[in-house]
Structure 1
């Protein structure tokens, strides 16, 4: 399975995604989330992306199935 990752304009900079999953997300200079990859593969990375998306209070992490 592969998941596409996108950060929407809803991001308020809470930082939960990059605190929980620093291998997938990092803060920009203003504290807003940046996805380090546009897609992830494998169960572990997909689970990490889902965990970050679930933790986002704004629902700003958009995941889509790829392939």
Structure 2
């Protein structure tokens, strides 16, 4: 994901822009799937655990109006 992001921003002076927004999105999807599989391998109810964590994050960082 980091490589795609750097390539999207063109931050490597030798290479310039090498990735598109869709490449970054694809890599983010891979990260989400990998993290989901890892979560499912260490907790009994990954859905409930994820929902609880989302509620904690939302409570700590309320959305701006």
TM range (shorter): under 0.3
Determine which structure has more spread, i.e. the larger CA radius of gyration. Answer: 2
Give the TM-score, by structure 2 length: 0.28
Query: Which one has the bigger strand percentage?
Result: 1
Q: Which has the higher contact order (CA 8 A, sep 6+)?
A: 1
Give the TM-score, by structure 1 length: 0.27
Query: Which one has the bigger helix percentage?
Result: 2
